[in-house]
C-alpha cells in the first residue's frame, strides 16, 4: 500500500511517501525551486517521491494533506462571529474588514498565489465586513458582515479541499488516473503522528507545539501501538509560537524562519525582562497557558501572510504595547544593543518555563518517561536540550522535520495506522511476524531526499569543465579528513539529502573545530550571516559524554548541551558564548561515510568532532550536484567532495590545480 502525504499552501511545502509502513522518501519543495520555505503546492516534491517509489500516481491508494477545514469548525465560526461583531462596534468599513479575513486553521490573513490566494480573493469579493450590504455577482444584496463571515466559514468547511484537480494538472495526468482516497488530517494530529509512529517508542507522551494549525497552537497526547489519544490542547489565539514570532519581528528579524536567530542571540544577554514576559504569556492549571492579548494584533486585526513566488511573508504580529513596554522596535539591520540581547534572553527563558510547564503536566497525565516532540517551536534546540534536566522524561525523540514540512510525513503514518490497524512488533521481537503484523519503521536519521550516482556526478563535473580527483571509499574520507585538519573549508556532498532544516553530513560544509577563526572564516567567505549565530559540532556518538555534559543521542541536531569546561578550548569554533553546542551525534549505522570521515579526522588530531554547517549561501540547502558546484564556484570554499570525486579551488581545465 502506497500513501502520499502533502503539506501545501503554507510555509515549508513538502511531500512524503510510504509503502506498507516504510518511509521511502520525504522532501521539501524549496530544495527543488530554490525558494526558501516555499509555501506553494509541492509538485516537484511529489514527482520526486513517485520516482523514489518507482511508481506512477495511479498506484497510490491514499493521499492526504495536513489540513482539515472542518476541525474545530464551531469554534472557528464563533470566533469569526465575535470578531466581525467587534468590527461592527468600532465602525470598521466593509472594505477594511474584507482584507482581514482570518484563514481558518492558522489565524492569518492569506493572500498570494495558488489556491489560498484565490480563496482570499473570494473573501474580498464577498465583502465580509462590518454589517454593510454589498452586491454579489448576481446583483443581489448580501447580508450583514457577521453572517457573511459565518457563511464563509461554513462554505470553506463544507467543501473539504479536494486536491484531485491541482494534482492532476501538476502531474499532467487525467483525474481518472487518480484512484486514491483523499484525506484531510488535522494539522497537529499530523505533527503528533510524525513524532510517534516513526519513533523507537511503543508507548510515549507526545507534544506538538507551534504557531497555529486548524485553530490549535499546542496539542498533547499519548501514543500507544497504532493509536494516538489526544489529552488536551491550547486554542487560538493563545500560542507560544506567536510570542516567538512577534518578539523576533520586534527585534528586527522580519523573515519567515528567523526565530532561530533569536535563540542564538539569547546567550549574549541577561534575562532582565522576565517580569514583563511572565505577564505577556501566563501559565495556568492543567498545562494551559494564555497570552496577554494587549501585546498582539493577530486576534483582533488578523495578520497578513503572503508569498511572492512561494516565499512566505508574515505581517506584523506585535502591537503597540510591545513598544510601550520594551521601547521602540529595532529596525532590521540596525546595530544590536544590550536591550535586544536581554529581550532575547528573557524570551528564551520564558519559552522554556512554559514548555516545561506543559511537559510536566503531560508527564503527570501519562506517567510515561518517553517523549515525542514536534511542531515549529520544537526547533528550539536549547529548550530541547534541557528537557531531561527539568522534567521526569528520560528519552526524547524530536522529529527531524519538526516544523510544517514534517506534517507530510505525519499524514502518511496517520492514514496508515487508521486504515490498516497494524500489529506492531519491535525489530528485536523473537516471535515470527504474520501477514497482518508490521515491524515498526524507525526514522533514525533524516536521509530521505534525492541521491546521485558517481556517474551522474561525473557528468556534471565534465559539463562544468572542472578538473577532479577520483578516490576509493577508504581514500576519500582519509584525504578529506586531512584537508579539514589542514584548515581547508570543505564542501561535502554525499548520499541522500536530508529532510528538515539541518544538514546532517550529506549536504554539509565541514571544517576544523579546533580553529577558533573558522567562525569568522565561514561567515566572511561563505555564509554571510550574523556573527552572533553559533556553528554546530558533529561528534562520534560513543564519544559524546567525553565532550558534553549530557550524552542522550541527538542524531538530528535538535539538542543543545553544555560543552564540558575542560573541552571548550579544544573545540572553540563550535562552543557558543555560553559554553554550549548544538550537537549532532553520528553513528556508523545511520551515516557510515560521515562517521568514517570524523573517525579519520580523530585519527589525525585526537578530536572526534568536526564543525558542520549547511551547504548553502543564503539559499536552501543544495540538493543536486549542479547546486553544489554552483555554490562552490560562487563562494570561497577550498575543496568540494561529491561522491567519490574532489574538486579544488581554481580547478577549471586549463588552470593549474592548487590550494588557496
pLDDT at 234 over 80: yes
Q: How confident is the model at residue 288 (pLDDT cuts 50, 70, 90)?
A: very high
Q: Would you state the pLDDT for residue 87?
A: 61
Burial 308-330 (b: 16+ CB within 10 A, else e): eebbbbbbbbbbeebeeebeebb
> Cα(266)–Cα(168) distance, rounded to whole angstroms?
47
Domain that holds residue 108: 73-158
Whether the CB-CB separation of 582 and 557 falls below 8 Å is answered with yes
Looking at the fold, whether 524 and 631 belong to one and the same domain comes out as yes
Of residues 298, 295, 297, the one with CA closest to residue 350: 295
Separation of alpha carbons 628 and 493, rounded Å: 7
pLDDT band at 307 (very low <50, low <70, confident <90, very high): low
pLDDT band at 653 (very low <50, low <70, confident <90, very high): low
39 or 363, greater pLDDT: 363
Q: Region 99-111: what's the mean pLDDT?
A: 41
Cβ partners under 8 Å of residue 26, min gap 6: 14, 15, 16, 17, 49, 401, 405, 408, 409, 448, 449, 499
Residue 655 has pLDDT above 70, yes or no: no
First to last CA, the chain: 53
pLDDT classification of 133: cutoffs 50, 70, 90: very low
Structural domain includes residue 364: no
Query: HSE-up of 488 (CA within 13 Å, CB side)?
Result: 22
User: Which of 93-97, 143-147, 349-353, 359-363 is least confident?
Assistant: 93-97
Same domain, 55 and 138: no
> 519 with 630, same domain?
yes
Work out the pLDDT band at 312, boundaries 50, 70, 90.
confident
Q: What's the burial of 106, exposed, middle or buried (CB within 10 Å: 0-12/13-18/19+)?
A: buried
Domain with residue 622: its CATH number is 3.90.870.20
How far is 613 from 522, CA to CA, in rounded Å?
Answer: 9
Q: What span, in angstroms and rounded, lies between the C-alpha atoms of 366 and 363?
A: 5
Question: Does the structure show a pLDDT above 90 at 268?
Answer: yes
- Per the structure, the count of domains in the chain is 3
Mean pLDDT on 407-412: 99
Task: Residue 171: give its domain's CATH number.
Answer: 3.30.420.40
Task: Report if residue 200 sits inside a domain.
Answer: no
C-alpha cell at 496: 541522500
Share of the chain above pLDDT 70, in %: 83
Per-residue pLDDT tens over the stretch 474-502 = 999 999 999 999 999 999 999 999 999 99
Closest residue by Cα to residue 4 from 48, 60, 79, 87:
60
Torsion from C-alpha of 556, 560, 566, 570, nearest 10 degrees: 50
φ/ψ of 216, rounded to 5, equals -120, 140
Residue 186 falls inside a structural domain: yes
Q: What are phi and psi of 303, to 5 degrees?
A: -130, 125
Contact predicate 249/241, CB 8 Å: no
What SS3 state is found at 109? strand
| CB-based burial label for 547 (10 Å; 0-12, 13-18, 19+) | buried
Residue 16 forms part of a structural domain:
yes
Q: Give the largest Cα separation in the chain, rounded.
A: 80
Residue with cell 527543488: 32
Grid coordinates of 382: 536549547
Mean predicted confidence (pLDDT) in 627-643: 97
**Angle subtended at Cα 278 by Cα 276 and Cα 279, rounded to the nearest 5 degrees:** 65
**pLDDT recorded at residue 75:** 78
Same domain (yes/no): 510, 613: yes
Residue 613 forms part of a structural domain? yes
585 and 608 belong to one structural domain: yes
Range with the lowest mean pLDDT among 6-20, 294-308, 313-327, 439-453? Answer: 294-308
- Residue 451, φ and ψ in degrees, nearest 5: -135, 160
Looking at residue 315, what is its pLDDT? 93
pLDDT for residue 69: 86
Same domain assignment for residues 167 and 153: no
Lowest mean pLDDT among 134-143, 343-352, 535-544, 594-603: 134-143
Distance CA 595, CA 587 (A): 6
Q: Is 401's pLDDT higher than 60? A: yes
Which of 145-154, 213-222, 239-248, 304-313 is least confident?
Answer: 145-154
| pLDDT for 108 | 45
pLDDT above 90 (res 264) = yes
> Cα separation of 535 and 610, whole Å?
10
pLDDT band at 659 (very low <50, low <70, confident <90, very high): very low
pLDDT of residue 138: 36
pLDDT given for residue 548 in this prediction: 99
Whether 139 shows a pLDDT value over 90: the answer reads no
Q: How far apart are CA 299 and CA 296, in angstroms?
A: 7
Residues 6 or more apart whose CB falls under 8 angstroms from that of 392 comprise: 360, 363, 369
Question: Are 197 and 361 a contacting pair, CB within 8 Å?
Answer: no
Give residue-wise pLDDT tens across range 12-26.
Answer: 999 999 999 999 999
Asked if 610 contacts 620 with a C-beta cutoff of 8 angstroms, the reply is no
CB 488 within 8 A of CB 639: yes
Q: How confident is the model over 429-445, as pLDDT tens digits?
A: 444 555 545 568 999 99
Do residue 522 and residue 639 come from a single domain?
A: yes
For position 142, what pLDDT does the model report?
39
Mean pLDDT of the chain: 88
Q: Are residues 480 and 573 in the same domain?
A: yes
**Residue 309, pLDDT above cutoff 70:** no
The whole-number pLDDT of residue 286 equals: 98
**Shortest CA distance to 97 belongs to which of 107, 87, 109?**
87
Contact between 268 and 341 (Cβ < 8 Å): yes
**Cα–Cα nearest to 360, from 388, 401, 334:** 388
Write the CB contacts of 604 (distance below 8 Å, at least 6 apart in sequence). Answer: 481, 482, 485
Inform me whether the pLDDT recorded for 93 exceeds 60.
no
Confidence at 79, pLDDT banded by 50, 70, 90: confident
User: What confidence score (pLDDT) does residue 539 get?
Assistant: 99
Give the integer Cα–Cα distance in Å for 376 and 355.
Answer: 13
Q: Are 584 and 557 in contact (CB under 8 A)?
A: yes
* Confidence check: pLDDT of 40 > 60: yes
- What pLDDT shows up at residue 308? 57
Same domain, 79 and 181: no
pLDDT recorded at residue 77: 77
Integer Cα distance of 70 and 184 in angstroms: 9
pLDDT at 134: 34
628 and 579 both lie in a single domain? yes
Rounded CA-CA distance 372/387 in Å is 12
Pair 154, 167 in one domain: no
Grid coordinates representing 538?
558533529
- 548 domain-assigned: yes
**What does the H/E/C string look like for 216-284?**
EEEEEEEEECCEEEEEEEEECCCCHHHHHHHHHHHCCCCCCCCHHHHHHHHHHCCCCCHHHHHHHEEEC
| pLDDT value of residue 654 | 52
Q: What is the mean pLDDT of residues 133-139?
A: 35
Higher pLDDT, 400 or 110: 400
- Phi then psi dihedrals of residue 653, to 5 deg: -60, 135
Same domain, 118 and 179: no
Task: Say whether pLDDT at 194 is over 80.
Answer: yes
DSSP state of 295: G
Q: Which of 66-70, 134-138, 246-250 is most confident?
A: 246-250
Q: Which residue matches cell numbers 561567515? A: 523
CA 142 to chain centre: 42
State the pairing for strand pair 559-562/507-511.
unpaired
What average pLDDT does the segment 261-269 reach? Answer: 98
Q: Which residues, including other chains, have CB under 8 Å from residue 548's CB and lie 6 or more apart?
A: 539, 561, 562, 563, 564, 581, 583
Whether 528 maps to a domain, the answer reads yes
The H-or-E segment that residue 594 falls in is helix 592-605
Domain annotation covers residue 172? yes
Amino acid at each position: 500500500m502506497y500513501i502520499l502525504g502533502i503539506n501545501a499552501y503554507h510555509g515549508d511545502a513538502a511531500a512524503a511517501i510510504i509503502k506498507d509502513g516504510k518511509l521511502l522518501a520525504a522532501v521539501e519543495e524549496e530544495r527543488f525551486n530554490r525558494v526558501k520555505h516555499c509555501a506553494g503546492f509541492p509538485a516537484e516534491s511529489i514527482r520526486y517521491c513517485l520516482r523514489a517509489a518507482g511508481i506512477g500516481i495511479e498506484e497510490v491508494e491514499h493521499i492526504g494533506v495536513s489540513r482539515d477545514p472542518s476541525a474545530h469548525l464551531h469554534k472557528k465560526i464563533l470566533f469569526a462571529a465575535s470578531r466581525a461583531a467587534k468590527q461592527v462596534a468600532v465602525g470598521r468599513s466593509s472594505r477594511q474588514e474584507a482584507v482581514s479575513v482570518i484563514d481558518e486553521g492558522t489565524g492569518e490573513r492569506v493572500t498570494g498565489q495558488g489556491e489560498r490566494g484565490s480563496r482570499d480573493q473570494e473573501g474580498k469579493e464577498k465583502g465580509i465586513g462590518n454589517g454593510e450590504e454589498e452586491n454579489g455577482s448576481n446583483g443581489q444584496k448580501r447580508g450583514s458582515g457577521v453572517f457573511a463571515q459565518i457563511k464563509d466559514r461554513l462554505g470553506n468547511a463544507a467543501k473539504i479541499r479536494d486536491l484531485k484537480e491541482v494534482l492532476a494538472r501538476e502531474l499532467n495526468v487525467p483525474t481518472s488516473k487518480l484512484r486514491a482516497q483523499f484525506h484531510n488530517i488535522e494539522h497537529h494530529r499530523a505533527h503528533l503522528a510524525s513524532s510517534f509512529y516513526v519513533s523507537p517508542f511503543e508507548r510515549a507522551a507526545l507534544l506538538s507545539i507551534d504557531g497555529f494549525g486548524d485553530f490549535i497552537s499546542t496539542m498533547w497526547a499519548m501514543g500507544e501501538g497504532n493509536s494516538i489519544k489526544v489529552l488536551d490542547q491550547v486554542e487560538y489565539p493563545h500560542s507560544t509560537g506567536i510570542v516567538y514570532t512577534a518578539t523576533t519581528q520586534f527585534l528586527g528579524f522580519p523573515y519567515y524562519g528567523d526565530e532561530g536567530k533569536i535563540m542564538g542571540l539569547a546567550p549574549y544577554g541577561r534575562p532582565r525582562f522576565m517580569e514583563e514576559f511572565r505577564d505577556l504569556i501566563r501559565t495556568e492549571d492543567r498545562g494551559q497557558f494564555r497570552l496577554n492579548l494587549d501585546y498582539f494584533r493577530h486576534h483582533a486585526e488578523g495578520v497578513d501572510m503572503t508569498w511572492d513566488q512561494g516565499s512566505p511573508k508574515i505581517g506584523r504580529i506585535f502591537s503597540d504595547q510591545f513598544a510601550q513596554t520594551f521601547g521602540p522596535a529595532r529596525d532590521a539591520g540596525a546595530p544590536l544593543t544590550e536591550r535586544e540581547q536581554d529581550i532575547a534572553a528573557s524570551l528564551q527563558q520564558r519559552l522554556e518555563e512554559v514548555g516545561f510547564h506543559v511537559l510536566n503536566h503531560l508527564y503527570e497525565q501519562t506517567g510515561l518517561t518517553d517523549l515525542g516532540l514536534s511542531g515549529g517551536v520544537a526547533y528550539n534546540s536549547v529548550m530541547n536540550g534541557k528537557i531531561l534536566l527539568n522534567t521526569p522524561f528520560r528519552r526524547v525523540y524530536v522529529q527531524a522535520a519538526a516544523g510544517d514540512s514534517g506534517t507530510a510525513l505525519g499524514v502518511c503514518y496517520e492514514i496508515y495506522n487508521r486504515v490498516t490497524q497494524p500489529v506492531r512488533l519491535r525489530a528485536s521481537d523473537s516471535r515470527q511476524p504474520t501477514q497482518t503484523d508490521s515491524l515498526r519503521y524507525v526514522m533514525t536519521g533524516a536521509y530521505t531526499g534525492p541521491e546521485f550516482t558517481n556517474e551522474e556526478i561525473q557528468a556534471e563535473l565534465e559539463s562544468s569543465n572542472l578538473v577532479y580527483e577520483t578516490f576509493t571509499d577508504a581514500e576519500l574520507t582519509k584525504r578529506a579528513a586531512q584537508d579539514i585538519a589542514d584548515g581547508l573549508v570543505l564542501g561535502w556532498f554525499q548520499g541522500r539529502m536530508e529532510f528538515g532544516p539541518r544538514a546532517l553530513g550529506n549536504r554539509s560544509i565541514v571544517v576544523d573545530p579546533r580553529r577558533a577563526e573558522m567562525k569568522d572564516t565561514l561567515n566572511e567567505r561563505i555564509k554571510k550571516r550574523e556573527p552572533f549565530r553559533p556553528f554546530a559540532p558533529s561528534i562520534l556518538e560513543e564519544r559524546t559524554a567525553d565532550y558534553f555534559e549530557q550524552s542522550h543521542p541527538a542524531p538530528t541536531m535538535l539538542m543543545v548541551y553544555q560543552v564540558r569546561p575542560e573541552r571548550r578550548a579544544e573545540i572553540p569554533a563550535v562552543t557558543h558564548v555560553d559554553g554550549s553546542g548544538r550537537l549532532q551525534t553520528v553513528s556508523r549505522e545511520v551515516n557510515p561515510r560521515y562517521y568514517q570521515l570524523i573517525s579519520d579526522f580523530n585519527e589525525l588530531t585526537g578530536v572526534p568532532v568536526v564543525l558542520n554547517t549547511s551547504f548553502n549561501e543564503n539559499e536552501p540547502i543544495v540538493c543536486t550536484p549542479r547546486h553544489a558546484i554552483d555554490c562552490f564556484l560562487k563562494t570561497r570554499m577550498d575543496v568540494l567532495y561529491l561522491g567519490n570525486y574532489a574538486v579544488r579551488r581554481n580547478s577549471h581545465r586549463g588552470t593549474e590545480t592548487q590550494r588557496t
